[in-house]
Amino acid sequence: MTMTALITHPDCARHEMGRHHPECPQRLSAIHDHLIAQGLDPYLVPYEAPLVTREALERVHDPAYLDELWASAPLTGLVHLDPDTAMNPDTLVAAQRAAGAGVLAVDLVLGGEVGNAFCLVRPPGHHAGRARAMGFCFFNNIAVAAAHALAHHGLERVTIVDWDVHHGNGTEEIFRDDPRVQMVSIFQHPFYPYSGTENPPPHMVNVPLPARSGSDEFRQVVTDLWLPAIRAHQPQLLLISAGFDSHLEDDMGSLALREGDYAWATHELVRLLREITGGAAPIVSMLEGGYVMSSLARSAGAHIRALIEA
């Protein structure tokens, strides 16, 4: 049994992009309620997500973009940054908590206070580029966490795993010239944001899958492509962009994973990390997509249970 941190903050539920927007505050309560119903709550160490610092954000985002975001924040109503991505008066504080959660998670895991951590946060992050909000994302939370591990803790090699149905184009853009940060992913292709297949550098193992690919295809990619690549990279920390919109029941996309696949992949990653480090399996996982409440809650629950069992 591992000490698993659960990092969240009520501010993350205050960001809203319109009444029928799929990236809604209920996503967090659906997961949290499920963790309690499944009896997992007693095994999680709760932490409040702090506000991220400007220094941590500037490791991956252009200062001018950050200034622009702060200047765009409305006092009332919504301001749209792209057709799917809008700010309300509470967006900035929620986004600062989401990115701050990842920074705290890295500190806790690398400091040995917990074995691994799950950040139950929104807005998500993996579409946010150096100077661009898009696809429900403002700050690239997982990139901020990875950059913190490198700059603040002096790590030399980290790996980001991304199993969201959408390609993590922001994460790839931020680290495509930094081979210290390996990225391994699957994503539905062709599909939004229509990236990830053109001349990826060798440290970007991003595997497109056709619509309707399911457990067999996913497990084959993990076994044949992800695990050997991660073993070759020898990461000192593994970060997971945990998007659950790749689930069969999630109609945001057309991949067909089941909750057991996320648990299986988590166990495989833990086992490989133990082999690499000779002991600990330092993992920081952060919520990305997942828009159907039932499959989102069950998938996150299966993944978090696997982190607890690590």
The residues binding Zn ion (CB under 5 A) are 164, 166, 243, 245, 289
d(CA 187, CA 194): 10
Q: Of 11 and 288, which CB lies nearer to Zn ion in the complex structure?
A: 288
Q: Of 289 and 301, which CB lies nearer to Zn ion in the complex structure?
A: 289
d(CA 176, CA 153): 21
Q: Of 77 and 83, which CB lies nearer to Zn ion in the complex structure?
A: 83
Cβ 64 to Zn ion shortest distance, Å: 27
Closest-approach residue to Zn ion (CB):
289
Cβ 223 to Zn ion shortest distance, Å: 23
Catalytic residue among 15, 34, 126, 127: 127
Q: Is 203 one of the catalytic residues?
A: no
**CA 246, 247, 249, 253: dihedral to nearest 10 degrees?**
10
Cβ 27 to Zn ion shortest distance, Å: 12
Cβ 264 to Zn ion shortest distance, Å: 20
Backbone angles phi, psi at 172, to 5 degrees: -65, -45
Contacts of 174 (CB under 8 A, 6+ apart): 60, 129, 130, 140, 143
CB 6, CB 47: distance < 8 Å: yes
Structure tokens at 67: 């200034």
Q: Of 9 and 166, which CB lies nearer to Zn ion in the complex structure?
A: 166
Count CA atoms closer than 13 A to 223's CA, side-chain side. Answer: 8
Active site residues: 127
